[in-house]
Amino acid sequence: MDQILGQVLRDAVWERLDMLADLASRADTDSLVSVARSELPRLTEGWRAMLSAHEPDERGDCPTCSTRWHRCKAPCSVWQVAHEHLVAGGLAPQQDLRHPWRRTRSTVPSARGTKPAQSETTGRHALIPQVATH
């Protein structure tokens, strides 16, 4: 039952994102202004809530991504993806912020229809691609 509910939740979120992307590319100016006024505050609050859950603890670990047996040092993949999309704009090659001298390829699927890698479909954060740290 949890698996079905989880899939319904994920599908609803993907559909909402698809609808917003479609509006952004096809809507007239007045519609865009209306959507921006209603949706931007919701999207920013959503980002803030998600990022708050991934704020580093006193040891510098992400409490959400860390497990009892494996500590995940900040910035975790959620913060890295947030930086890439909100600050860098997705234009620059993705960087591992823990090792800024290393450049990695983007692991974020480019479109909803892109089949995710096996590592993106299982695990604690299945919808958040992990950044390669070679």
User: In this predicted model, what pLDDT tens digit does every residue of 9-38 receive, in sequence order?
Assistant: 999 999 999 999 999 999 999 999 999 999
In the beta sheet, which residues pair with residue 61? 73
Residue 62 banded pLDDT, cuts 50, 70, 90: very high
Token pair belonging to 86: 């909100």
Condensed to tens digits (0 to 9), the pLDDT of residues 98-128 reads 555 444 544 444 444 544 444 334 433 444 4
Q: Round to whole Å and give the CA distance between 83 and 124.
A: 21
Helices (H), the chain: 2-26, 29-53, 77-82, 118-121
Token pair belonging to 49: 């809530």
Closest CA to 108 of 84, 76, 73: 84
